[in-house]
Amino acid sequence: MRRWPIVAFVTLALGILSGAAAYQQADPRQDQRHAEWHEIAWPFPRDGWPAGRAFRCRGASCGDGIEIYVRPKLGFCNCDRGVADDEEVDRVADLDLLSERFTPIQAGDVISVADMPGRSRAYDLKVTDGARHAAIGIAVSRRCDLLVAVAHGKGDAMRVRRMALQLLGENEMTRWMKAAIEGQ
Amino acid sequence: MSGRLKLAAGLSIFFLVTPGIASAQQQVIGAPSEALNMKLVGTSDLQARSAYQPTIHHQGDRWIAYIGHHGGSDEIPAPLNPQTGKAEPNGTSIVDVTDPSQPKYLRHLPGQEGKYESGGAQMVRICDGKSLPKGDRNAVYMLRTFGGEAHEIWNVADPAKPVLVTRIAGLKDTHKNWWECDTGIAFLVSGAPDWRTRRMTQVYDLSDPAHPQKIRDFGLPGQEPGSTGAVPTELHGPISTGPSGNRVYFGYGTNKGGILQIVDRDKLLSGPKEPTPDNLRLPEIARLPMSAFNGAHTTFPMPGMPIAEFARDKDGKTRDIVMIVDEAILNECNEPRQMVWFADVTVEKAPMMISSYTVPEASGTFCERGGRFGAHSSNESMAQVYYKKMAFIAFFNAGVRALDIRDPYHPKEVGYFIPSITAATDKRCVKIDGKDRCKVAIQTNNVETDERGYIYIVDRANTGLHILELTGPARAVAGLP
């Protein structure tokens, strides 16, 4: 009796099964492996707009840590044009809460957050102790209202951007942002 | 009736009547206007166009009102002009108000296509050619914005037949300009394409309106091209005291983070023009930063006001006052109260807020009436009839408010007028549980006065122009017979 076809079949089947199991266990995105966002208290003194929500990310994918601050600014947008250019992101995205001194690294990108169109832009941020952080300003709009976010960390700007958009894309955050821009 | 039954009946009546009391303040078509010491003289429907700046000009033996409009609405982007039979994007209404009881609508001059603040021709100022150093003596010039993209000058010597003189275009925004008729110097609120702010100042010599000469760009350091870091609050509008006063008062911010900036006019005009941070700082004398809760829509200077209370003091008998008016922008009180502030700028390096004024909300349950409640603008005429005596404040759903400001340390309301709504009055909505909840209320947006003492108010929600006069004790404040 020739056994090799059976051995080959079993080997192949085991190979497929173990490959599938390994594929299911593996994270498709390295960033998502240990990204743990925790909500923290809004760290800024009162200004013209009510406080929003703040989060801190710890874990390998967040490098030395990333923080993000998100809030609506109701009645602060051109009702028809929306967030039209990068200068608008410079003006509205709350970077000045972190530092008066920030310099754009490059031209911004068109994005969509919680079904709202807008722009994001990367910055080199000089913080109070003289250290430099990478920061991402995000501003999206609906009608005459803005939803803004600023994220910063010691890692590179693209990582900060990726992690920030990942958080803002989560279902719970999307629900909150949609409610917040309606004043709820 | 038992005690419990009485209590239940009483509570039932209370709960039935209470909503009625609150909703009694809701405006309805056909209800009379609300007034104290002010009286309606005449009206114009302004073709049901949303109105911003009225400017009243004594033109020969006639009095002409020029009224700037916002763009159209989602429902009616271009209202019908009954005079032409055509739908026209909102622009400038020109109305003969020689007889204020019978205003005659002369002409609608269309503006830029676009809705709300993105279209129309909101701002308008008028100078006679004979007062401008190089103007045509027979001309009357109207400086107006054309949406956000341009400033235009028209000859309105025949107000029914305006003729375009010149255009300053290529802008990303415009707003509340100031034009000195005796020098021709204009402070144009513009969005120069390369600046980091939506609105800054372009200073022009418009003494010869056919040949505009740019003097310089101006703004707060951080707004100029090439700068980095935080961008200061955008400009709303300036008011100049001309060569004699040598000051320009700039108001930055609308409903947030306001700044009153006091500028040396001569240094602004003759100083170095390149928009570097140092050159932008050079003409500045001082700033008065306001709360993050309030903006500076109008900064109206009243230098040299004698203060009766200080009359026997050896120093400081007169004070230089600037009245600052915030602008409410959100419907139904969804923001901090926007109101009126008085700053003593006598010691220019250290200007100080000395008083404030707001309409008591409970006096009309204004937060429930619909639309905006709060200040927006004041009259800007410096004609003797009211200057330094009375101020008129457009207060959206609380109409226009007449203030006795002879003692700016203690401003006092002496009259008001809230027009009736009409079928043309547009709704204003807020989101409740994700759905629009709309109400209809008057939205008095801007106010101006003329040398005769008439008060002109215009409505943002399409209710038109109302011409008013003072009555009773309010007339005495102004010294009117």
- Is any Cβ of chain B less than 8 angstroms from the Cβ of A103? yes
Residue A91 has its nearest CB partner, among B197, B228, B434, at B197
Nearest CA in chain B to A103: B228
Is residue A153 within 8 Å of residue A134, measured between CB atoms? yes
Residue A47 has its nearest CB partner, among B115, B196, B292, at B292
**Which residues are CB-contacts of B217 (< 8 A; sequence separation ≥ 6)?**
B192, B195, B200, B201, B202, B203, B224, B273, B275
Question: CB atoms < 10 A from the CB of B345, how many?
Answer: 24
Residue B115's pLDDT is what? 87
- Rounded to 5°, the CA angle B177-B260-B305 comes to 90
Residue A74 has its nearest CB partner, among B230, B257, B334, at B334
Q: How far is A139 from chain B (nearest CA, A)?
A: 15
- Is any Cβ of chain B less than 8 angstroms from the Cβ of A94? no
The answer to whether residue B320 sits within a structural domain is yes
A100/B230 Cβ within 8 A? yes
| B contact set with A (CB within 8 A) | 114-118, 196-198, 228-231, 234, 255-257, 292-293, 329-330, 334-335, 430-431, 433-434
Report the C-alpha gap between B186 and B206 in whole angstroms: 6
Count of domains in chain B?
A: 1
> What's the predicted TM-score (pTM) here?
0.89
pLDDT class of A16 with cuts at 50, 70, 90: low
In the chain, the amino acid numbered B117 is E
Question: Is 50 exceeded by the pLDDT of residue A37?
Answer: yes
Report the C-alpha gap between B134 and B129 in whole angstroms: 8
**Which residues are CB-contacts of B413 (< 8 A; sequence separation ≥ 6)?**
B357, B359, B401, B402, B403, B404
Residue B118 has its nearest CB partner, among A80, A103, A182, at A80
Is residue A154 within 8 Å of residue A134, measured between CB atoms? yes
A91/B231 Cβ within 8 A? yes
Report the C-alpha gap between A75 and A73 in whole angstroms: 6
- Is any Cβ of chain B less than 8 angstroms from the Cβ of A148? no
Residue B263's pLDDT is what? 98
**Which residues are CB-contacts of A125 (< 8 A; sequence separation ≥ 6)?**
A95, A98, A99, A101, A102, A132, A133, A134, A135, A152
Residue A87 has its nearest CB partner, among B196, B329, B433, at B196
Q: What's the domain range around B275?
A: 34-478
Radius of gyration of chain B (CA): 23
Is residue B395 within 8 Å of residue B401, measured between CB atoms? yes
How many angstroms separate the first and last alpha carbons of chain B?
A: 60
Is residue B375 within 8 Å of residue B327, measured between CB atoms? yes
Question: Is 70 exceeded by the pLDDT of residue B185?
Answer: yes
Residue whose C-alpha is closest to residue B363's, from B410, B388, B397: B397
Interface test with A, best of B70, B113, B196, B331 (most A CBs within 10 A): B196
Element of type H or E holding A96:
helix A95-98
Residues of B in contact with A182 (CB under 8 A): 431, 434
**Which residues are CB-contacts of B158 (< 8 A; sequence separation ≥ 6)?**
none
Nearest CA in chain B to A105: B228
Residue B256 has its nearest CB partner, among A48, A81, A101, at A48
The answer to whether residue B16 sits within a structural domain is no
Residue with structure tokens 């759905």? Answer: B435
- Is any Cβ of chain B less than 8 angstroms from the Cβ of A124? no
Q: What is the mean pLDDT of chain B?
A: 94
Residues of B in contact with A100 (CB under 8 A): 229-230
Nearest CA in chain A to B228: A103
Domain boundaries, chain A: 32-180
Question: Is 60 exceeded by the pLDDT of residue A18?
Answer: no
Nearest CA in chain B to A93: B230
What are B124-146's pLDDT values in tens digits?
999 999 999 999 999 999 999 99
Reported ipTM: the value is 0.84
What is the CATH number for B442?
Answer: 2.130.10.10
What are A80-137's pLDDT values in tens digits?
789 989 999 999 999 999 999 999 999 999 999 999 999 999 999 998 777 889 999 9
Residue with structure tokens 């056919």? Answer: B210
**Which residues are CB-contacts of A175 (< 8 A; sequence separation ≥ 6)?**
none
The answer to whether residue B151 sits within a structural domain is yes
Residue B26's pLDDT is what? 86
B430/A183 Cβ within 8 A? yes
Residue A5's pLDDT is what? 59
Interhelix angle for A157-168 vs A171-180, to 10°?
80
Residue B442's pLDDT is what? 98
Distance from chain centroid for Cα B17 = 38
Report the C-alpha gap between B234 and A55 in whole angstroms: 30
Question: Is 80 exceeded by the pLDDT of residue B209?
Answer: yes
Report the C-alpha gap between B68 and A134 in whole angstroms: 46
Residue B4's pLDDT is what? 54
Residues of B in contact with A78 (CB under 8 A): 117-118, 198
Fold adopted by A32-180 = Protein Transport Mog1p; Chain A (3.40.1000)
CA distances from B368 to B372, B416, B473 (A): 10, 19, 30
Question: CB atoms < 10 A from the CB of B160, how many?
Answer: 13
Question: Is 70 exceeded by the pLDDT of residue B7?
Answer: no
- Is any Cβ of chain B less than 8 angstroms from the Cβ of A64? no
Residues of B in contact with A49 (CB under 8 A): 256
Interface test with A, best of B227, B231, B376 (most A CBs within 10 A): B231
pLDDT class of A15 with cuts at 50, 70, 90: low
Q: How far is A22 from chain B (nearest CA, A)?
A: 44
The answer to whether residue B257 sits within a structural domain is yes
Among left, alpha and beta (phi > 0; psi -120 to 50; other), residue A152 is beta
**CA torsion B284→B290→B295→B301, rounded to 10°?**
-50
Q: What is the DSSP string of B266-303?
A: HHHHHS--S--HHHHHTTEEEEEE--TT---SEEEEEE
**Which residues are CB-contacts of A50 (< 8 A; sequence separation ≥ 6)?**
A71
The answer to whether residue B27 sits within a structural domain is no
Question: Is 60 exceeded by the pLDDT of residue A20?
Answer: no
Question: Is 50 exceeded by the pLDDT of residue B257?
Answer: yes
A74/B116 Cβ within 8 A? no
Interface test with B, best of A91, A96, A100 (most B CBs within 10 A): A91
What are B348-405's pLDDT values in tens digits?
999 999 999 999 999 999 999 999 999 999 999 999 999 999 999 999 999 999 999 9
Residues of A in contact with B335 (CB under 8 A): 74-75
